[in-house]
Amino acid sequence: MAAFVDRVTLDVTAGNGGHGCVSIKREKFKPLGGPDGAAGGNGGNVFLRVDPQVTTLLDFHHLPHRKAANGEPGKGDLRPGKQGEDLILGVPAGTVVKTKDGDIIADLVKVGDEYRAAVGGLGGLGNAAIASDKRKAPGFALLGTPGTSQEVVLELKSVADIALVGFPSAGKSSLIAAVSAARPKIADYPFTTLVPNLGVVMAGEIRFTVADVPGLIPGASEGKGLGHEFLRHVERCAAIVHVLDCGSLESDRDPIGDLETIEAELAAYEADSTFAGTDGNIIPLTERPKLVALNKVDMPDGADMAEFVRPELEKRGYRVFEISALARNGLRDLTFAMAELVEKARSERVEESPVVEVPMLRQRTGKKTEFVIRREEVSNEPLWRVIGEKPERWIVQTDFRNDEAVGYLADRLAKLGVENQLFRAGAKPGDAVVIGSEENSVVFDWEPTMAAGAELLGSRRGEDIRLEDRNRKTREQKRAEHEDRRAAKAEARAELEAERRAGIWTESVHAKNAERAAKDRAAEKED
């Protein structure tokens, strides 16, 4: 089972927002108490935060899928839903957050640094919040929005001032154990060190950290051996110490050749852009300050080998120290030389001044565009896509099983200006309109006949009379019927006027009066 993991793929999902509540207050002697449905709680966020107690990414290796808590739905009597708890994931100092494509999102170095990897969904409003003077008792509530999800890559890059590099069994672990309180596993066979070890060193009043990087071999930058997996732990170091084995029993190796091989591997490794200086330039690993420690000079042939290669190393510009990590010889001079490099690097480090935002007293920019409309072609038919944060969120919050909620959505879109923009863009009745992205969208046939103001229609809760007739007539059809009715009324009026002018109405009245008079005379004779 793996004990040290410095690179994992993590899938995080925030909590969903709780749905709003539909409720009407009912009390004795108060039959019309009004709406009292409360809003749902927001979903929990997912944070990555540096924890000093965490030194590896092993937990994420075993559990790569993490999800925050959902918000609870709202309740009646104006009781809001409980907020979903945030999920805080502890990561080691020096964790770099990347996308799957390798783009750096965040660099978490200091204790307390955090990155919000997933945002919780919003809780839906209850019908009490939607009610107005004209919409007294809404029969619907808004749904909670889902939380965001993201797949990120976490890479651990040790936060150390000095990096010890060298071939396997060169004595790096023995050196870090001799100058610090670290106790790494030490043996006389290659690849004893399987994980980077950190140690704290005190040289006078200067305190710094040293990283023991697992041994490098030719081809490490291309993935051979263990070096490729741990070269990233050298990137943050201000200086590098080459630990060269002067007591090697291999006839085909010597300190000069080992140094050239390690330098070639460092040159072949490309550092991330996140470790650029304040001027934006990345310092390659080969250009960082270096020291050379000739180790194992206590062995019979070690001192002779060190004396033989020292002039050549000094000729190349290296500061050379003859040490014995096992016998603890020459360590004081080496640690103080490392402290000098660390102190120099810290003094050259420029702290960026905090950016102070000047408050804007008056906003002079134009009205913010809430959405855009894009025309597309599908099967030679026009399709209009509405893209915007508000329309897309409203679509998710709408319960399409409730006609009143659909009518409320139509009112909101009309108030936002979606219908007017569709007219200006050239949309025609019956065209397909899509709101939202490809992953989460709603498609409907556009019929610009739905007037706003559902609260004025007098429909029952949960219903909208504008949606009862799904086969509504278009404006052109209604205009044609109106013209036909006007023509029929004009024709009827012309016919009546012609009859009046011909005297038909007058003769009919005289005839009726004469018939009534005759009946009256006949009745008198009978009496």
**169 labeled part of a ligand binding site:** yes
**192 labeled part of a ligand binding site:** yes
At 330, the amino acid letter reads G
**278 labeled part of a ligand binding site:** no
**296 labeled part of a ligand binding site:** yes
Q: Indicate left, alpha or beta for 339 from its phi (over 0: left) and psi (-120 to 50: alpha).
A: alpha
Phi, psi (degrees; rounded to nearest 5) at 377? -120, 125
**214 labeled part of a ligand binding site:** yes
DSSP-derived letter for residue 500 is H
**29 labeled part of a ligand binding site:** no
* β-strand partners of 292: 242, 320
**8 labeled part of a ligand binding site:** no
**Residue 39: alpha-carbon gap to chain centroid:** 24
**410 labeled part of a ligand binding site:** no
Question: In this structure, what token pair is assigned to residue 56?
Answer: 């590896």
**191 labeled part of a ligand binding site:** yes
* Number of H-type helices and E-type strands within the chain: 12, 18
DSSP string of 375-416, one letter each residue: EEEETTEEEEEEE-HHHHHHHHH--TT-HHHHHHHHHHHHHH
| C-alpha closest to that of 322 among 340, 304, 341 | 304
**5 labeled part of a ligand binding site:** no
**386 labeled part of a ligand binding site:** no
Question: In this structure, what token pair is assigned to residue 362?
Answer: 């008056």
**44 labeled part of a ligand binding site:** no
**47 labeled part of a ligand binding site:** no
Residues 6 or more apart whose Cβ sits within 8 Å of residue 82: 18, 41, 71, 72
The span from the CA of 299 to the CA of 306, in Å, is 11
CB–CB of 265/286 below 8 Å? no
**Angle (CA) 366 371 373, round 5°:** 120
**478 labeled part of a ligand binding site:** no
**195 labeled part of a ligand binding site:** yes
**166 labeled part of a ligand binding site:** yes
DSSP-derived letter for residue 40 is P
**324 labeled part of a ligand binding site:** yes
CB–CB of 392/435 below 8 Å? yes
Phi, psi (degrees; rounded to nearest 5) at 79? -100, 105
**213 labeled part of a ligand binding site:** yes
Q: Which pairing describes strands 381-387 and 372-378: parallel, antiparallel, or unpaired?
A: antiparallel
**172 labeled part of a ligand binding site:** yes
Question: In this structure, what token pair is assigned to residue 183?
Answer: 């106790």
**453 labeled part of a ligand binding site:** no
Q: Residues annotated as binding site for Mg(2+)?
A: 173, 193
Q: Residues annotated as binding site for GTP?
A: 166-173, 191-195, 212-215, 295-298, 324-326
Q: Residues annotated as binding site?
A: 166-173, 191-195, 212-215, 295-298, 324-326
